[in-house]
């Protein structure tokens, strides 16, 4: 089985096996090719490799066998033709925009995205000649209204963090198609276990591998998945020139993460669902944001679009910031940190951390109240997580 068609295999099998090419040493676990350059048999082979006339590795900023194994495995899991790995999730977004947009091309992005993504668009891409407008993620008409004749890209992440609002990917893919624009989906929160944006019509999928793909909070990395021309040629060409490539060691950690991704995501989802139910019955909890709850405004869309409801639960406690901080400060088990997708449950107060630098009006418009807490549910026992939260509720 040197290069099988992974479409014929189930997700779990692909996640464990795809992309691995065993060397003459017969290693069972994938090797880490920690080498910056590669050696040629003779001068003619060197010349041919440099001119792309012979396939093969030249330098690890261009290609590396461990990184390639990760890329092929993630491409197979997302159902894309091609994947390129990057040094971080942000590098994946930057590479996609720089490689695929011309100066003057307009972007419509979802409001309420990851802070650095919003900042990258507002501060840097605008400066490079790519104006951006933000659309209310769950309002198709708003997306339609923000599109101009210059719009070349729609960009979103779904569900949003921390309020778990969803974008209707298939509906937006149709709008993108009609307007000759690309639909780019950051699939960090769902991973291909829960959501396959390419199957729903998106052109490009972005990952911060740092989160659920690693799953244990060890390495920073990212990836772009899509078709051969845009990802395999255009974005790859940018990466090999500009340099934000993934290190072989990080690729190896992420490969190992992919092997357990499905069972981890199932556990994240199960525990988050239990916790959301329990928290709903707490008198000091005014509101629970979780797409798995039947009263979530997009519960039905979530059931169509995702195969699970995800591992992130947000709650609004009565008593504002003081009450929210009390919950955080009463925890003994949970980690007070903004990272997510980790085996360890994390708790964050968005109004004073991730959303602390925006104005009060912007925060109110984004729906980030002072009593809001985000819990990225880890792999501990859900009962223990609940007990730890209850201390301060
Ligand atoms: C963390 C994150 C990113 C950025 O990824 P890094 O690996 O930290 O660069 C992008 N999008 C989302 C949704 C994220 O959560």
Cβ of residue 95 lying under 6 Å from some atom of ligand 1: no
pLDDT at 13: 96
69: CATH: 3.40.640.10
Do residues 343 and 380 share a domain? yes
Do residues 195 and 77 share a domain? yes
pLDDT at 7: 86
Whether residue 147 lies inside any domain: the answer is: yes
Whether residue 1 lies inside any domain: the answer is: no
Distance 51 CA to ligand 1 centre (A): 35
Per-residue pLDDT of the chain (393 residues; tens, 9 = 90+): 557 889 899 999 999 999 999 999 999 999 999 999 999 999 999 999 989 899 999 999 999 999 999 999 999 999 999 999 999 999 999 999 999 999 999 999 999 888 899 999 999 999 999 999 999 999 999 999 999 999 999 999 999 989 999 999 999 999 999 999 999 999 999 999 999 999 999 999 999 999 999 999 999 999 999 999 999 999 999 999 999 999 999 999 999 999 999 999 999 999 999 999 999 999 999 999 999 999 999 999 999 999 999 999 999 999 999 999 999 999 999 999 988 999 999 999 999 998 887 788 888 888 899 999 999 999 999 999 999 999 999
Distances (CA, A) of 233 to 37, 60, 99: 21, 17, 10
Cβ of residue 312 lying under 6 Å from some atom of ligand 1: no
Cβ of residue 254 lying under 6 Å from some atom of ligand 1: no
Do residues 48 and 177 share a domain? yes
Helix intervals (H) in the chain: 11-17, 43-50, 65-78, 89-100, 115-119, 140-146, 169-178, 191-194, 236-242, 248-280, 299-305, 320-329, 360-365, 382-390
pLDDT at 370: 96
Whether residue 272 lies inside any domain: the answer is: yes
Distance 344 CA to ligand 1 centre (A): 18
Do residues 243 and 284 share a domain? no
Taking 3-state DSSP, the helix, strand and coil percentages for the chain, each rounded to the nearest 5, stand at 40, 15, 45
| Closest-CA residue to 30 (of 20, 38, 42) | 20
Task: Count the domains in the chain.
Answer: 2
Whether residue 248 lies inside any domain: the answer is: yes
Q: How far apart are CA 132 and CA 393, in angstroms?
A: 41
Do residues 198 and 332 share a domain? no
Do residues 253 and 271 share a domain? no
Q: Exposed e or buried b for every residue in 262-275, given b needs 16+ CB within 10 A?
A: bebbebbbbbbbbb
Whether residue 11 lies inside any domain: the answer is: yes
Cβ of residue 87 lying under 6 Å from some atom of ligand 1: no
384: CATH: 3.90.1150.10
DSSP assignments along 223-263, one per residue = EEEE-IIIIIIIIHHHHHHH--PPPHHHHHHHHHHHHHHHH
Do residues 354 and 369 share a domain? yes
pLDDT at 2: 57
Three-class SS state of 293:
coil
pLDDT at 115: 86
Do residues 197 and 85 share a domain? yes
Distance 4 CA to ligand 1 centre (A): 32
pLDDT at 88: 98
Cβ of residue 262 lying under 6 Å from some atom of ligand 1: no
Do residues 49 and 74 share a domain? yes
The range of the structural domain enclosing residue 333 comes to 262-390
Last residue of a domain, one of 208, 234, 257: 257
Do residues 194 and 320 share a domain? no
- What does the radius of gyration of the chain's CA atoms come to, in whole angstroms? 22
Do residues 165 and 50 share a domain? yes
Do residues 251 and 325 share a domain? no
Q: Model confidence over 181-221: pLDDT tens digits?
A: 999 999 999 999 999 999 999 999 999 999 999 999 999 99
Q: Model confidence over 257-286: pLDDT tens digits?
A: 999 999 999 999 999 999 999 999 999 999
In this structure, how many other beta carbons lie within 10 angstroms of the beta carbon of residue 102?
Answer: 9
Cβ of residue 76 lying under 6 Å from some atom of ligand 1: no
């Amino acid at each position: 089985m040197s290069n099988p068609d992974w479409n014929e295999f189930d997700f779990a099998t692909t996640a464990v096996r795809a992309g691995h090419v065993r060397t003459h040493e017969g290693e069972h676990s994938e090797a880490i090719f920690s080498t910056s350059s590669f050696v040629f048999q003779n001068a003619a082979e060197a010349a041919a490799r440099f001119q792309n006339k012979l396939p093969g590795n030249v330098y690890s900023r261009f290609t590396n066998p461990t990184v390639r194994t990760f890329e092929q495995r993630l491409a197979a899991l997302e159902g894309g033709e091609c994947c390129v790995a990057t040094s971080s999730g942000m590098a994946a977004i930057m590479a996609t925009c720089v490689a695929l947009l011309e100066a003057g091309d307009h972007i419509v992005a979802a409001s309420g995205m990851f802070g650095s993504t919003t900042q990258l668009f507002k501060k840097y891409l605008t400066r490079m000649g790519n104006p951006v407008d933000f659309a209310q993620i769950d309002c198709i008409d708003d997306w339609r209204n923000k599109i101009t004749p210059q719009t070349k890209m729609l960009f979103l992440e779904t569900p949003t963090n921390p309020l778990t609002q969803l974008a209707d990917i298939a509906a937006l893919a149709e709008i993108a198609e009609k307007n000759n624009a690309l639909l780019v989906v950051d699939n960090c929160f769902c991973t291909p276990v829960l959501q396959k944006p390419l199957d729903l019509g998106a052109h490009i999928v972005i990952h911060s591998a740092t989160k659920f793909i690693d799953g244990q909070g060890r390495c920073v990395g990212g990836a772009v998945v899509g078709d051969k021309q845009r990802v395999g040629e255009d974005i790859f060409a940018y990466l090999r020139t500009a340099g934000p490539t993934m290190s072989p060691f990080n690729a190896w950690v992420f490969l190992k993460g992919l092997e357990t991704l499905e069972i981890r995501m199932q556990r994240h989802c199960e525990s988050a669902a239990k916790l959301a139910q329990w928290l709903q019955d707490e008198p000091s909890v005014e509101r629970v944001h979780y797409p798995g709850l039947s009263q979530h405004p997009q519960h039905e869309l979530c059931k169509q679009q995702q195969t699970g409801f995800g591992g992130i639960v947000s709650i609004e406690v009565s008593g504002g910031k003081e009450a929210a901080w009390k919950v955080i400060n009463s925890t003994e088990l949970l980690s007070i940190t903004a990272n997510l997708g980790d085996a360890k449950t994390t708790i964050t107060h968005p109004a004073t951390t991730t959303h602390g630098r925006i104005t009060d009006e912007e925060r109110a418009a984004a729906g980030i109240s002072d009593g809001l807490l985000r819990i990225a549910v880890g792999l501990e026992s859900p009962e223990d997580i609940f007990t730890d939260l209850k201390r301060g509720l």
